[in-house]
Structure 1
């Protein structure tokens, strides 16, 4: 399993399927998952796209450090690591997909580095369903 460049002392593990040079797709998992959550989606896309599926900081096989979560595991920090991986792999015009916390990290990437993206496909940005998703409490989880 390959790992990306260090960003803020964190290295992300990732899977890559499909063909380099095709339209890149980056898939971001939710909480408390890891990259294997996206395995069946990645397999379906692999015939026609260059699919990269990382473990976010602190998840799966990516680095986990005992550091201040507000600084090192925030959306901004997570987005820096994913952006660093995309840059290291030479990806641009990425279709970014994510669910749960992965959708929030994706939205942060779109805010910080819109130049790297061509489209986003996201599902609920917080755990839960119904009106609970509209309150602030799930975001603190």
Structure 2
């Protein structure tokens, strides 16, 4: 399915050359800039249900991260600090100046945090949605010897995940999205669209590349946050599955870290778009 199948009215899609690659980005609305960064295995489509309401008060910028969706799939450059340069280039290419509010979900939260830590003057508000963060507890959570989450280490392995997932993309996405969301959140068309976005070894490689830098991301985050705390207000949104773990991990590293608990599973913006829009709008104002 193409971007046009889900893109809300009032948004347009552009391809922007940035940081030695090309990224696809949807833009709409008016007012202060709000950047929305999707997780894995998703694309900018993940924000479709909240984009119209947020665009009433903000200029909403919604990219496909490098390696995903309609963006290019370069062989490298997937550290989260380097992806911050991708996004800085997008805003420059759109002619948008001044600090932006940045919201990320899952892998997108990792990129958002790195952007805020490396370039704090760029970010007016930081919103992190249901994510473990490199350098701030992720490494412990992925330690399988202590009962941690096996998939992080598996996705970091070279070549093997692509080989095993190839031909089983829809099965994996259907099982994963169903287990981690409220019943009825995703239609068959939604699941098929996400599966198509990651079908084939090249598209799978672009997704797994985000995981293969996680240890380096953790080292960079620790160094950046040791140098200076996050100066902007931070909203860490957890769920009934994750609780306030992200807020607690960030509390020592920010002057204004707030927690919110969504009445949803992992896919907050899609499971309860109204709650997400109200919570984010209140935080930004």
**Does TM, normalized by the shorter one, top 0.5?**
yes
Q: CA deviation at 1:12?
A: 1.0
Find runs of 4+ consecutive structure 1 residues off by over 4 angstroms. Answer: 131-134
Question: Is 1:42 equivalent to 2:46 in the alignment?
Answer: no
Is the Cα contact below 8 Å between 1:98 and 1:122 reproduced in 2? Answer: yes
Aligned to 1:102: 108
> For the structure 1 residues 37 and 133, does the alpha-carbon distance in structure 2 shift closer, same or farther, using more than 3 Å as the test?
farther
Shift in Å at residue 64 of structure 1? 0.9
1:62-104 deviation line (CA, Å, top 9, x unaligned) = 0112x24xxx112122211012112332232211011100000
Root-mean-square deviation (Å): 2.3
Distance 2:83 2:108 in 1: 9
Q: Does the CA-based 8 Å contact 2:25-2:61 persist in structure 1?
A: yes
User: What is the distance in 1 between the residues matched to 2:138 and 2:83?
Assistant: 24
> Which residue does the alignment assign to 2:88?
83
Q: CA deviation at 1:132?
A: 8.4
Match of 1:26 among 31, 35, 40: 35
Q: TM-score, normalised by structure 2?
A: 0.43
Higher relative contact order (CA 8 A, sep 6+): 1
> Which sections of structure 2, spanning at least 5 residues, go unmatched?
1-12, 144-151, 157-210, 212-285
Unaligned runs of 5+ in 1: none
Q: Which has the higher helix share?
A: 2
3-state SS of paired residue (1:2)? strand
CA displacement 1:105-126 (0-9 Å, x = unmatched)? 0000001111111101111224
Larger radius of gyration: 2
Q: What's the TM-score, normalizing by structure 1?
A: 0.82
**Secondary structure in 2 matching 1:98:** strand
Aligned length: 131
